[in-house]
Structure 1
Amino acid sequence: ENLDTAAKRVLEELTGLRNVYLEQVKTFGAVNRHPFGRVITVAYFSLIKISHYNIQPSSIAKKAKWHSISKVEGLAFDHQEILGACFNRLKWLVRSRPVGFELLPPKFTLTELQHLYEAILETELDKRNFRKKILSMNLLIDLDETQEGVAHRPARLYKFDKEKYEEFLAEGFNFELKESKKKEKVVRKKARAKLA
Structure 2
Amino acid sequence: MISTIDTVLLRIADNELQVLLWQRPQDSRAYPDAWALPGGWVSEEQDQTLELATCRILEQKAGLKPDYIEQVATIGNRTRDPDGWSMTVLHLALIRFSCSESTQTNTRWISVDAVRNKALTLAFDHAELLDKALERLSTKARYSTLPLYLAEQELKLPELQRIYEVVLGNPLHKRAFRERILSAEVLEDTGIRIQGRGSPATIYRYQPDCAVRLFDRMMQGAMGESISE
Place the TM-score, normalised by the shorter chain, in its bin.
0.7 to 0.9
2:218 matches 1:176 = yes
Which residue matches 2:178? Answer: 131
From 44, 58, 68, the counterpart of 2:111: 68
Alpha-carbon distance in structure 2 between the residues aligned to 1:161 and 1:10: 27
The question of whether the paired residues in 1 share the 8 Å contact of 2:69 and 2:92 is answered with yes
Secondary structure of the residue that 1:67 maps to in structure 2?
A: strand
Code of the residue aligned with 2:82 in structure 1: it is P
Secondary structure of the residue that 1:159 maps to in structure 2?
A: strand
2:163 matches 1:116 = yes
**Structure 1 regions of 5+ residues with no counterpart?**
185-196
- CA shift at 1:174, angstroms? 4.3
Alpha-carbon distance in structure 1 between the residues aligned to 2:56 and 2:183: 41
Correspondence 1:96-115 to 2 at 5 A: 96-115=143-162
In terms of fraction of residues, the more strand-rich structure is 2
Instruction: Give percent identity, aligned residues only.
Output: 31
- CA shift at 1:111, angstroms? 0.8
Code of the residue aligned with 2:201 in structure 1: it is R
- CA shift at 1:21, angstroms? 4.0
The question of whether the paired residues in 1 share the 8 Å contact of 2:193 and 2:201 is answered with yes
Instruction: Specify which structure has the bigger relative contact order, considering alpha-carbon pairs within 8 angstroms and separated by 6 or more residues.
Output: 2
Which residue matches 1:25? Answer: 72
From 50, 53, 62, the counterpart of 2:100: 53
Structure with greater Cα Rg: 1
- TM-score, normalising length: structure 1: 0.73
How well do the aligned residues superpose, as a CA RMSD in angstroms? 2.9
- CA shift at 1:144, angstroms? 4.5
Alpha-carbon distance in structure 2 between the residues aligned to 1:122 and 1:92: 12
- CA shift at 1:75, angstroms? 1.1
**Structure 2 regions of 5+ residues with no counterpart?**
1-43
Alpha-carbon distance in structure 2 between the residues aligned to 1:81 and 1:172: 27
The question of whether the paired residues in 2 share the 8 Å contact of 1:94 and 1:175 is answered with no
- TM-score, normalising length: structure 2: 0.63
In terms of fraction of residues, the more helix-rich structure is 1
Alpha-carbon distance in structure 2 between the residues aligned to 1:9 and 1:105: 23
